[in-house]
Amino acid sequence: MTDLRVTLTGVVLADVEEFLTERGTLGLEGTGLIACTANGGSGWVSSRFIAPDQHARRQHGGCSVEVTDAGKDELVRSLGSDELYLVRVHSHPGDAFHSPTDDRNPALTHEGALSVVVPYFGLGMRRGLGACAVYRLTDRRWVALHPGPTRTEWLSVNE
């Protein structure tokens, strides 16, 4: 599963933006997974964004979000027989980057998985993927995909 090229649809990105903006206006981080379906041999296309039950907290000047056990069950039950979770999306309170906590607690662990980090409590999604940090799991490490051809080789947007 290393050759996972994903196209995100405008509808799915709008759902991500709506969810993260709602969380962000409360000063909370949010997280979810993007389910994808095969696109006739030319990669995968996003089918929907799933924001499972989660608990966000602010403490000691920092923030965190954790998917509850009920949320993990929800993710398993929600996945269609023709879908795979290929992209994790989550927000950070400031800049977009993959933190050591993100590295230790990945929602997706398969080779080629993608992780999108949205800055400013998710409000950065208003500026599109260019404002976000994108990482790809390669050889068990999260490798940054900077904006440009390297990123669009693995993750593109179809409005």
Going residue by residue through the chain (159 aa), what tens digit of pLDDT does each one get? 556 899 999 999 999 999 999 999 999 999 999 999 998 777 999 999 999 999 998 877 778 899 999 999 999 999 999 999 999 999 999 999 998 888 887 799 999 999 999 999 988 888 889 999 999 999 999 999 999 998 999 999 987
Strand partners, 72: none
Residues pairing with 54 in the sheet: 67
Q: Under CATH, which architecture does the 6-158 domain have?
A: 3-Layer(aba) Sandwich (3.40)
C-alpha 124/C-alpha 121 separation (Å) is 7
Strands 31-38 and 83-91: antiparallel
68 vs 8: CA distance, rounded Å: 26
CA dihedral 126, 130, 131, 136 (to 10 degrees): 120
Q: Domain extents for the chain?
A: 6-158
Q: Can you give the pTM of this predicted structure?
A: 0.93
